[in-house]
Amino acid sequence: MTSSDVLIRIQETPNPNAWKFILDRTVLTEGKATYSSLGEAENNLLARSIFEIPGIKQVHFFQNVITITHVFDAEPEEIHAAVSSVIQTRMPIHNPNQTIKDEKKIAREKLSPELQQIESILDDTIRPGLQGDGGDLTVVNLDGNQLYVHYEGACGTCPSSTTGTLMAIEGILKDHLNRDIEVIPV
């Protein structure tokens, strides 16, 4: 191993079709980035190169972690080897400051006070756990007492995202905000 080799630790997530690749260097200096297609990743060489691996469905960057989601019938060992190879060759030229502009932070300033409060509750309670498992959550809309959310990264296709995780999110929001709130994944 040379000094330029990237140290990679591969870790399971609760989603059997998603894996976290934890690196010894920064993937993203600020925010997060989720790519759901090769077209979305066209301006990021690292993400685009990972998408060129057969079977990759989504790539999620957060701090020093790359989470990939793959088709259900992919061979994990082949995916691990291919993604690790791409990381080794692309990380030396990857710019962690070249990120998708985190417009969600800017957009939050324009949200209603209730949505700002929901975002704050999710930031403090739910998102750290989801991000720890290689995923995240985006609030799509609040319509009356119905909160629509979208899962990202490993959470996007995780079976527990529509059961236990969803119930936990709803329970926390009921306790902290509104007893009548209903959380609906989209």
Among 186, 177, 176, 117, smallest CA distance to 155 is for: 186
Alpha helices (runs of H) in the chain, residue ranges in sequence order: 45-51, 76-90, 103-108, 113-125, 127-132, 164-176
89-129 pLDDT, tens digit per residue, is 999 999 898 755 544 566 677 888 999 999 999 989 998 88
| pLDDT at residue 2, as a whole number | 53
Strands 18-23 and 8-12: antiparallel
8-44 pLDDT, tens digit per residue, is 999 999 999 999 999 999 999 888 888 888 888 888 8
User: How far is the C-alpha of 6 from the C-alpha of 87, rounded, in Å?
Assistant: 8
Q: Which distant-in-sequence residues (6+ apart) come within 8 Å of 116 by Cβ?
A: 108
pLDDT at 101: 54
The tokens for 48 are 């685009």
pLDDT of residue 43: 82
pLDDT over 50 (residue 138): yes
By percentage, how much of the chain surpasses pLDDT 90? 59
The domain 103-185 belongs to what CATH superfamily? Answer: Fe-S cluster assembly (FSCA) (3.30.300.130)
Q: Which residue has the higher pLDDT, 158 or 179?
A: 179
pLDDT the model gives residue 154: 83
Q: Would you give the DSSP letter of residue 160? A: G
> What tokens were used for 156?
């996007």
For the chain, give every domain's residue range.
8-93, 103-185
Which of 1-5, 59-63, 179-183 bottoms out in mean pLDDT, i.e. has the lowest?
A: 1-5
Cβ(69)–Cβ(58) under 8 Å?
Answer: yes
CATH class for the domain made up of 8-93: alpha beta
Q: How much is the average pLDDT of 42-51?
A: 92
More confident of the two residues 3 and 6: 6
Residue 173 in this model has a pLDDT that exceeds 70: yes
Kindly report the pTM of this predicted structure.
0.67
Return the pLDDT at 69: 94
21/23 Cα distance (integer angstroms): 6
Q: What is the pLDDT of residue 104?
A: 56
Q: Which residue has the tokens 């059997």?
A: 16
If you count them, how many residues does the chain have?
186
